[in-house]
Amino acid sequence: MKTDRSHELFTRALELIPGGVNSPVRAFKSVGGEPFFAQRAEGAYLYDVDGNRYVDYVGSWGPMIAGHAHPHVLEAVARTMRDGLSFGVPNPLEVTMAETIARLVPSCEMVRMVNSGTEATLSAIRLARGATGRARIVKFEGCYHGHGDSFLVKAGSGVMTLGLPNSPGVPAALADLTLTLPYNDFDAATRLFEEIGQEIAALIIEPIVGNANCILPREGYLQHLRALCTKHGALLIFDEVMTGFRVALGGAQARYGITPDLSTFGKIIGGGMPVGAYGGRRELMQQIAPAGPIYQAGTLSGNPVAMAAGLATLDLIQAPGFHDGLERRTHALCEGLEAAAREAGVAFCTTRAPGMFGLYFREGPVETFEDAKASDTARFNRFFHAMLRRGVYLAPSAFEAGFVSSAHGDAEIAHTLAAAREAFAEVA
């Protein structure tokens, strides 16, 4: 495998970009080695600047649910950009996007577009505090909601990967307003709300944790949180930046039958372009400026090209049977990986939901953040590089979910499993 060109680019990047990357997990610091630099992508594949091809299970961290460079999405982008890239005034596609989200996610009676998932979660928290008149928020260990100050307390994603439980630069006074619970612990949530429920503005959660690898909720857990929030007057916020439109057409809230007060989105609704959104009950959303007093703004929010890419992607995933097919592909991949590990005598288990999965080098089940941390990360790192050498790109961290797209067909999964059999034998 040639890496000369990627090495040259990374060397140059290190001189001018912190860590050589514009988002920490891309640096391969967790798994070791240097990142490759992508040249192009198509379908289920990434191609790097040295001419190597990889079956891609990162999918730009989630947006590429229909595969890279889908013609329907590219055509929508090309058609829209001919009329201009940004206007600074309303455009028709913003309205269509709001209508589409509201139709697919009934809890979102109104929607505000923003430019990233982080911006969406920050805005939702501000709205919750403004609407309730309370200051405290509750999050969960291992859940990552972007890099806002309120969220970098026992966070997942790159924070967990790099071993940083919080971040310098976050004021202690603000961190003190963020309370953290263990995910999937019924009793801990009940005790916290019984003690200070009247002080809590909102509870924010990844309904399926995707930033401590992939942890699914225990039966009844999300319903329990909904009941606690309702009883104590706190708002329930589902961070569906990752799960939205992926694990079901209506997101995790549709899959588990929960109605949150507010929801945040990103990734898929931009089709690969920078995007975010938050939405919820009408009486809450009407408190956002200019309809109400809670301020939030964005120069590029509702960008027409991003809206076009997102609407084209949402159009594709509404095809009959789309999510059923995604679930079958995910199941086939995970079952095959577990079988390959058993053959090699390697302790290994997977977690999965339609279109996303987690890999853990330990016996299952994995249901909590503590379970996830008990995974053999050193063995995962060796496995990651063994797979990369065989043309399979997994998330470069033991604490990030993987993603399957509709472009991952039988051939791509067969190649992945053949590579895995060799890789498991290598790390056994």
Where are the alpha helices (H) located in 213-290, listed in sequence order? Answer: 221-232, 251-256, 282-285
Residue type, 60: S
Secondary structure class of 379 (helix, strand, coil)? helix
327, containing H or E segment: helix 322-344
Is the CB of residue 405 less than 8 Å from the CB of residue 413?
no
pLDDT reported for residue 152:
65
Of 235, 227, 281, 222, give the one whose Cα is nearest residue 125. 235
d(CA 148, CA 124): 12
Q: Are 334 and 357 in contact (CB under 8 A)?
A: yes
Question: Is 139 known to be catalytic?
Answer: no
Question: Of these residues, 256, 267, 278, 371, which one is catalytic?
Answer: 267
Strand, coil or helix: 393: strand
Per-domain boundaries in the chain: 4-69+320-427, 71-317
Among the options 144, 183, 278, 360, which is catalytic?
144
CB 205 within 8 A of CB 225: yes
Using CB atoms within 10 A of its CB, is residue 105 exposed (0-12), middle (13-18) or buried (19+)?
Answer: buried
Only one residue has tokens 């139709």, namely: 103
| pLDDT tens-digit series, residues 281-319 | 999 999 999 999 999 999 999 999 999 999 999 999 999
What pLDDT score was predicted for residue 148? 73
Active-site residue, 267 included: yes
| pLDDT at position 217 | 98
Q: How far is CA 180 from CA 57, 97, 225, 234, 253, in A?
A: 30, 33, 14, 15, 22
Helix axes 221-232, 186-196, angle to 10 degrees: 0
Structure token digits, residue 51: 């001419």
More confident of the two residues 212 and 92: 92
**CA–CA separation, 146 and 59 (whole Å):** 18
* Per-residue pLDDT reduced to its tens digit, 403-427: 999 999 999 999 999 999 999 999 9
* Residues 68/45, Cβ–Cβ less than 8 Å: yes
Note whether 256 and 224 are within 8 A (CB). Answer: no
Mean pLDDT of 60-80: 98
Question: Rounded to whole angstroms, how far apart are CA atoms 249 and 320?
Answer: 11
pTM for the model = 0.95
How confident is the model over 319-358, as pLDDT tens digits?
999 999 999 999 999 999 999 999 999 999 999 999 999 9
**Active-site residue, from 48, 56, 185, 239:** 239
CA distance 176 to 196: 14
Fold that domain 71-317 belongs to in CATH? Aspartate Aminotransferase; domain 2 (3.40.640)
Domain 4-69+320-427: assigned CATH number: 3.90.1150.10
Q: Do domains 4-69+320-427 and 71-317 have the same CATH topology?
A: no
Helix H or strand E segment including 186: helix 186-196
| Distance in angstroms (rounded) separating the CA atoms of residues 149 and 166 | 9
Query: pLDDT digit string (tens) for 354-412?
Result: 999 999 999 999 999 999 999 999 999 999 999 999 999 999 999 999 999 999 999 99
Nearest CA to 225 out of 216, 235, 214, 212 is that of 235
pLDDT in tens, 129-166: 999 999 999 999 888 888 776 776 654 444 444 444 46
Q: Is 144 a catalytic residue?
A: yes
Q: DSSP assignment, residue 24?
A: G
Alpha carbon distance 55, 35 (integer Å): 16
> Residue 355 has what DSSP assignment?
T
Give bridge partners of residue 139 from the DSSP assignment: 180
Extract the tokens encoding 133: 């008149």
Instruction: Establish how many alpha carbons lie within 13 A of residue 178's alpha carbon, considering only the half-sphere containing its beta carbon.
Output: 24
